[in-house]
Structure 1
Amino acid sequence: MKPRIGYARVRRKAAELLEGQNSPPVSLDLVADLLGAEIREVELDDDASGILFRGNGRKVIAVNRSHHPLRKRFTIAHELGHLALHKGAEVHVDQVFRINLRDARSATAEDVEEIEANAFAANLLIPPQWIRLDLAGYTLDLENEARIDALAERYQVSKQAMIVRLTSLFSPK
């Protein structure tokens, strides 16, 4: 039996963490503060986007310094999703702490926690209620590059992320 993905829980948690923010782009620093997390840019191998450390009373999101700023925003939002939704795996070094690692496998549909963290990132960066307001009065045209580019810039996400989000929100189910 396939594990269930908690999309409703993901949407609720993202919306809860957006309280006090009313328009794009989302301040990821404010969300991190709400969750008691620090965000740090660090040197990582290119195939690692980010890492969430939890231990010794600290929560640190480490994001790959060499990645594009828009990719860093998605990675941070993804790690915030893990922090808000998942316990994390224990890692033993000299001390016990919990870790979530965002790498190339994170985008695949193999792991429920990764799927949920990606869904959380999408709901956090492009909240459905905000994008619906921005599109009120427009016919959605995914081939209107100028409109997609303007929305991507407004939300500080990649054009690809905006297209995926619009498709998931507005495609017939």
Structure 2
Amino acid sequence: MKQSSLFTDIKTLDYNGDKLRIARVASGLSLVDVGKELVVTRQYAHKLENEAIPSDEQLAQLASLLNVKEDFFFSPRKRPIEVDQCHFRSLRSSTQTLKKMIMAQVEMFDDNFLSLLNEEVDFPEVRLLEVCDKDIQTVASIEGVAEHFRRELGLGLGPISNVIKLAESIGCIVVNLSEADERVDAFSIYNGRPIIVRNTAKTSPCRLRFDISHEIGHLIMHRGVETGCRITEAQANNFASAFLMPRSSFSAEFPRMRGQYFNWEALEELKVRWGVSLKAIIYRASKLGLITPEKAKTGFTTISRSGQAKVENGDDRLITEEPQMIQRAIDMLDSYTWIKLMKQSGLNESTLINRYRLKTPKPHLVSVQ
């Protein structure tokens, strides 16, 4: 535990309308929604996020509406998150409103909670490769990056038992975000410390592992690069495939075809062993030349027509990985430090519980009657 530094009186700071905007966007509310709550016009609600200062009564209303403490509106934005810093793995149906909401929720977590928690608990050192543009121009070069990273971490060539635990061990913060829906697969940002958002709407343990590996790829290859285009997404997918399924060991274990047909029983066993989806296995086999593109297409069609588009055979044999590092850090805090941390964060405990799926620390000492 580090020496506490939670005694700053943030009420001495000026009102910050930008923090009102962040809290509003994180809650998925519009200026009209805020105006209705305060019984003011949309225009005045907009002014409150700029030059106007709310009354004491309005502050109390805003804090209740946005589920924060009033002190939240008097804290600075220490590490603002901008669009060009973010890596979204999202479907086309996702909206800018949804993306902005997720960005605001991550900023609130990072700026108002994680930064304070980091003063109390030492997190692992960040261990991510430094690569240059020439290292990721071809599929073969990205394969080399993934293999190099495995060697750096001492992973060998076998399956990775727990991808989230691995990400946390190399200094990445993996956090749940309950309000992200299926239109956003994953999200990551390197803003002081790498953060990866785990979308709790996802039910496939294999897709989750691939999503986390995909985001690790972004954090390694695309630091300072705006992503989301076809090229950067393909690069991150190629990294995830190579990272999760090293070519030499995967090629040796890929089951032979039964004439013109896939050996689906053997493929399911391979899936469970490596923790990757049947689609990912077939895609990887095609890219490595173990099967033809035509055979891969046939395999994808079979999976889709058999009702396995979202839930595949073998998913029930795999555990769904959960982040643990932040919760363990919270559990280390004594009650006094926790109360002080929450006060300075400006967040309510219900926000941590419901939005980020965290639990408050249990008392370390219990009186005995």
TM-score of the alignment, normalized to the shorter chain, above 0.5: yes
Q: Which deviations, in whole Å up to 9, do the C-alpha atoms of 1:9-55 show, x marking residues without a partner?
A: 21111112212113113542325533x31222222121101110211
Letter in 2 for 1:148: L
Q: Which consecutive aligned stretches of 4+ in structure 1 deviate over 6 angstroms post-superposition?
A: none
TM-score scaled by length of structure 1: 0.75
Query: Partners of 1:74 and 1:88 in 2: how far apart?
Result: 22
Q: Which deviations, in whole Å up to 9, do the C-alpha atoms of 1:100-146 show, x marking residues without a partner?
A: 6xxxxx6xxx52111100000100111112212324xx634561001
Query: Partners of 1:10 and 1:32 in 2: how far apart?
Result: 22
1:163 aligns with 2:299: no
Greater relative contact order (Cα < 8 A, sep 6+): 1
- Give the match's secondary structure for 2:197: strand
How much has 1:172 moved relative to structure 2?
A: 5.9
Give the equivalent residue in structure 1 for 2:160: 25
1:124 aligns with 2:243: yes
Give the equivalent residue in structure 2 for 1:59: 194
- Give the match's secondary structure for 1:87: coil
Query: Partners of 1:46 and 1:39 in 2: how far apart?
Result: 18
Structure 2 unmatched runs, 5+:
1-135, 294-369
Query: Partners of 1:128 and 1:52 in 2: how far apart?
Result: 26
1:73 aligns with 2:209: yes
Root-mean-square deviation (CA), in Å?
Answer: 2.4
- Relative to its length, the structure with more strand (as a share) is 1
Give the equivalent residue in structure 1 for 2:357: none
- Of all paired residues, the percent bearing the same amino acid is 27
Query: Partners of 1:114 and 1:71 in 2: how far apart?
Result: 15
- The match for 1:10 among 142, 156, 169 is 142
- Give the match's secondary structure for 2:206: helix
1:48 aligns with 2:184: yes
Which of structures 1 and 2 has the bigger CA Rg?
2
After superposition, the Cα gap between the structure-2 partners of 1:69 and 1:88, relative to the gap in structure 1 and judged at 3 Å, is: farther
- Give the match's secondary structure for 2:281: helix
Query: Partners of 1:115 and 1:39 in 2: how far apart?
Result: 22
**1:32–1:80 Cα contact (<8 Å) kept:** no
- Give the match's secondary structure for 1:18: helix
**1:51–1:63 Cα contact (<8 Å) kept:** yes
- Give the match's secondary structure for 1:163: helix
After superposition, the Cα gap between the structure-2 partners of 1:40 and 1:53, relative to the gap in structure 1 and judged at 3 Å, is: same
Letter in 2 for 1:63: R
Q: Which deviations, in whole Å up to 9, do the C-alpha atoms of 1:52-80 show, x marking residues without a partner?
A: 0211x211010201212211111101000
- The match for 1:134 among 253, 260, 275 is 253
Letter in 1 for 2:166: L
After superposition, the Cα gap between the structure-2 partners of 1:133 and 1:171, relative to the gap in structure 1 and judged at 3 Å, is: closer
- Give the match's secondary structure for 2:147: helix
Query: Partners of 1:157 and 1:151 in 2: how far apart?
Result: 8
After superposition, the Cα gap between the structure-2 partners of 1:140 and 1:25, relative to the gap in structure 1 and judged at 3 Å, is: farther
After superposition, the Cα gap between the structure-2 partners of 1:21 and 1:72, relative to the gap in structure 1 and judged at 3 Å, is: same
Give the equivalent residue in structure 2 for 1:39: 174
TM-score scaled by length of structure 2: 0.37
Letter in 2 for 1:65: T
Query: Partners of 1:25 and 1:49 in 2: how far apart?
Result: 21
Query: Partners of 1:171 and 1:143 in 2: how far apart?
Result: 10
Give the equivalent residue in structure 1 for 2:310: none
- Give the match's secondary structure for 2:262: coil
How many pairs are equivalent? 149
